[in-house]
């Protein structure tokens, strides 16, 4: 396995491309948006520069990594002669189904199709392809070049051979793969998202403020980042999407998203990506910034 395609040049996509390219794989980074591709490549270059500065890699390593990545704006061109395709598009079921149906029509017969989804059913995605046994979940953690965990999610029809191949491949990337079964939210988000949602409920109910909630969890529970800050970092729209997947999948009210989260997403307050969420990232990263209109 030498040739990899990554679909989506956003935060996760460019991080996945970076990781494969740094490990010596030939990577086609695909996005229909030229500006997104340029931004993704700029991010990879900046992250590599940071690693050079910290003496984690050499300048030659950086140049070799960048040379291993080719950009494309069309799926058919980008997936030619690839052994593995990792989809890292927006966490939207309809979009993923459309992409995987297209991939099934144009990719090589033995190509493995992986999705970086953090919550959506692998079995449902695989069902629109011609070879569901070749479809698997590879849920990388953000930031991808740094975080070592990869959740490997088997769909109902995923073959043992494909699972072993992806487990072994993840180890070659310097990651720690953990195999889990295909249920909404898998393991990471099934545990994490209710905690984040409960933190938002705690704010919504007026128990404490943003800084106070995050401080309690950082100092009392030894979390490196408070839950509200983490929600901002993940993206409040992403958190809402994952909670909705779990709520719809389990029909259990404990997964129902907090009204405050829904209101903030509807207002475009998505966290770091929009410049404002529970904190204001445009002016002062320490300043609490939740408008009373949401509460």
In a domain, 295, yes or no: no
Residue 293: pLDDT band (50, 70, 90) is: very low
pLDDT at residue 210, as a whole number: 97
In a domain, 255, yes or no: yes
- Per-residue 3-state assignment (H helix, E strand, C coil) for the chain: CCEEEEECCCHHHHHHHHHHHHCCCEEEEECCCHHHHHHHHHHHHHHHHHHHHCCCCCHHHHHHHHHCEEEECCHHHHCCCCCEEEECCCCCHHHHHHHHHHHHHHCCCCCEEEECCCCCCHHHHHCCCCCHHHEEEEEECCCCCCCCEEEEEECCCCCHHHHHHHHHHHHHCCCEEEEEECCCCCCHHHHHHHHHHHHHHHHHCCCCCHHHHHHHHHHHHCCCCCHHHHHHHHCHHHHHHHHHHHHHHHCCHHHCCCHHHHHHHHCCCCEHHHCECCEECCCEEEEECCCCCCC
pLDDT in tens, 168-207: 999 999 999 999 999 999 999 999 999 999 999 999 999 9
Residue at which a domain ends, from 181, 210, 241 = 181
The share of the chain scoring above pLDDT 90, in percent, equals 95
Residue 283: pLDDT band (50, 70, 90) is: low
Length of the chain counted residue by residue: 295
Q: Reply yes or no on whether 118 is catalytic.
A: yes
In this structure, are 77 and 106 located in the same domain?
yes
pLDDT at residue 282, as a whole number: 87
Please give the mean pLDDT across all residues of the chain. 95
pLDDT at residue 171, as a whole number: 98
Residue 1: pLDDT band (50, 70, 90) is: confident
| pTM of the predicted structure, to 2 decimals | 0.90
Q: How many domains does the chain have?
A: 2
Which residue ranges make up the annotated binding site? 8-13, 31, 91, 96, 118, 142, 273
Q: Reply yes or no on whether 134 is catalytic.
A: no
pLDDT in tens, 166-175: 999 999 999 9
pLDDT in tens, 65-119: 999 999 999 999 999 999 999 999 999 999 999 999 999 999 999 999 999 999 9
pLDDT for residue 287 is more than 80: no
Which residue ranges make up the annotated binding site for NAD(+)? 8-13, 31, 91, 96, 118, 142, 273
Q: What CATH number does residue 170 fall under?
A: 3.40.50.720
Residue at which a domain ends, from 121, 153, 181 = 181
pLDDT at residue 130, as a whole number: 96
The mean pLDDT value for 231-253 works out to 96
Q: Reply yes or no on whether 151 is catalytic.
A: yes
pLDDT for residue 291 is more than 90: no
In this structure, are 23 and 142 located in the same domain?
yes
The mean pLDDT value for 218-244 works out to 97
Q: Reply yes or no on whether 189 is catalytic.
A: yes
pLDDT in tens, 18-73: 999 999 999 999 999 999 999 999 999 999 999 999 999 999 999 999 999 999 99
In this structure, are 73 and 164 located in the same domain?
yes
pLDDT at residue 284, as a whole number: 54
Residue at which a domain ends, from 181, 202, 235 = 181
In this structure, are 129 and 259 located in the same domain?
no
Q: Which of 104, 116, 121, 189 is catalytic?
A: 189
């Amino acid at each position: 396995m030498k040739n990899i395609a990554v679909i989506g040049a956003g935060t996760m996509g460019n991080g996945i491309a970076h990781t494969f390219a740094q490990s010596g794989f030939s990577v086609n980074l695909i996005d229909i948006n030229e500006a997104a591709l340029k931004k993704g490549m700029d991010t990879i270059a900046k992250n590599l520069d940071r690693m050079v500065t910290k003496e984690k890699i050499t300048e030659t390593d950086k140049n070799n990594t960048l040379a291993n990545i080719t950009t494309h704006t069309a799926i058919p061109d980008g997936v030619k002669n690839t052994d593995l395709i990792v989809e890292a598009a927006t966490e939207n079921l309809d979009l993923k189904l459309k992409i995987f149906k297209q991939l099934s029509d144009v990719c090589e017969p033995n190509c493995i199709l992986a999705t970086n989804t953090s919550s959506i059913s692998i079995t449902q995605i695989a069902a629109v392809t011609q070879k569901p046994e070749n479809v698997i979940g590879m849920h990388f953690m953000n930031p991808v070049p740094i975080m070592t965990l990869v959740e490997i999610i088997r769909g109902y029809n995923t073959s043992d051979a494909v699972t072993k191949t992806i487990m072994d491949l993840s180890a070659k990337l310097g990651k720690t793969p953990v195999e889990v079964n295909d249920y909404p939210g898998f393991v990471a988000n099934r545990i994490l998202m209710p905690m984040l949602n409960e933190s938002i409920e705690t704010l919504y109910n007026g128990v404490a403020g943003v800084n106070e909630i995050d401080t309690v969890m950082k100092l009392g529970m030894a979390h490196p980042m408070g839950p509200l800050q983490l929600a901002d970092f993940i993206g409040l729209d992403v958190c809402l999407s994952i909670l909705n997947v779990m709520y719809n999948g389990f029909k259990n009210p404990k997964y129902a998203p907090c009204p405050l989260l829904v209101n903030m997403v509807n207002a475009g307050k998505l966290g770091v990506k929009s410049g404002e969420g529970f904190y204001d990232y445009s002016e002062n990263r320490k300043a609490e910034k939740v408008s009373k209109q949401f509460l």
